[in-house]
Structure formats: C-alpha cells, structure tokens
Amino acid sequence: MRERPALVLASASPRRRWLLSRLGLDFIAVGPGLEEELPPRAPHPERLARRLARAKALAVAGRYPGCPVLAADTVVVQRGQPLAKPRDAHEAMAMLRRLRGRWHRVVTAVALAWGRRLLLGHAITRVLMRRYGEEEIAAYVATGMPFDKAGAYGIQDEPFLPVAAYEGCYCNVVGLSLAVVIRLLDRAGLAAPEPTPDRLLPQCLSCPLLGDR
C-alpha cells in the first residue's frame, strides 16, 4: 500500500521542487499532466494564473485523497499579452527580443487543495530586462534553457542573467513564491516552517512579501 505523503507538489518543474525544498518540507512531486492553453490577451493575468493553478491542484488531488496538494502556475505578460513557453528556437528568440530593455509582469499563482478546502494566492513581480545583444540571445537559446520557461527566460540562468532589475518577490519569477506558499500553509492550519536565512535564497532576505507574513 502506498504511504500517504505529508505534502504533494503538483509540478514537474525542477525549479519548483528546488524552491519548495528550501523550506525543509517533506513532500513528493507529481506532474499534473495538464496542457496549459493561454489566451491571446490577458488583461487580468492573476485570474488566469489562479485558474490554471487551481486546475493543476484539483487534478492531482483526485489521485491523492486526503493529502494536501500544492500547485502553481506562472504567467509572464507584456503589454497585456501572455508569453507561454516557446515552442522552438525562433519563438524563443522572438520573445527575448520583445522583452529586451522593457518592463513586464510575472504572476505566479499558488493553489492548495486539501479535502474540501481550496486556498489560492498569488504574487506579482515587475521585471526589467537588460539590453542583451543578439549574440547573447543566440548563445542562450542554443543551451536549451529557455524552452521550459514562460517568457523564454529564467532570472537565475547563468551566464545569461537577463534581468536588469525587479520589484517584488524574486522566487515568484523563478516559479514559486515561498512567501505565498508559507501563507497558504498557515491558513490551512498546516505546520508551515519558520523561514530562516540559512534555508532561504539571499534574495528572500529583502522580499517585501515575507515581511507581510
């Protein structure tokens, strides 16, 4: 008989697994197996992200009855247009050119399904990309790193490091706001760990959301 896990992360993302592990939680990760379809316009990207995160949580919760299931979805939006994961190198390069030197928003919604309860939260971070060159774009795309990321980039991806500045939660841009996770666990009455500097990312020490907990 399969042992019931303490927490299920409904995600196949290695970045979300890594971020959640920073909190010292006992969990397993399970891919939700859902196709993410983005509309051509997203005037309210937070609603879109919350809807997708909710769908992921409920899809996996059905497989693990009685277990708390955590899911997340990230939407990158620039001038009202959501940018999905690029399908090929041409699309990845086009996205990076579109974002170059401009501000955009990253919205990550988090859903926690447990029994009959469904809790939702989200974080929004404003991101300014640096003015990287064409050769940098080509070299980055050649690594393959953009293809599993909304907007075709990762704020943490070295040596490209495409972000010049950001306002808000850093982890939110990576793919999972730890502050939102902690808040939802608290609301659900689960044992949310107290964030400590040795577990968190260096950027978390100045996160405005952790201060609002």
The answer to the question of residue 121 being in a domain is: yes
Would you say residue 70 has pLDDT above 80? yes
**Residue 2 in domain:** no
Q: Is residue 126 part of a domain?
A: yes
- Indicate which CATH number applies to the domain containing 24: 3.90.950.10
Whether 1 is in a domain gets the answer: no
Instruction: Tell me, rounded to whole angstroms, the distance of Cα 2 from its chain centroid.
Output: 29
Amino acid letter, residue 24: G
pLDDT tens sequence across 8-59? 999 999 999 999 999 988 899 999 987 777 766 767 889 999 999 999 999 9
pTM listed for this prediction: 0.91
Domain count, the chain: 1
Residue 100 placed within a domain: yes
CB 110 within 8 A of CB 70: yes
- Burial grade of 17 (CB within 10 A; 0-12, 13-18, 19 or more): middle
Residues known to be catalytic: 73
Look at strands 69-78 and 81-83 and give their pairing.
Answer: antiparallel
Q: What digits encode the pLDDT tens for the residues 85-137?
A: 999 999 999 999 999 999 999 999 999 999 889 999 999 999 999 999 999 99
Query: 22: domain range?
Result: 8-212
Residue 107 falls within a domain, yes or no?
yes
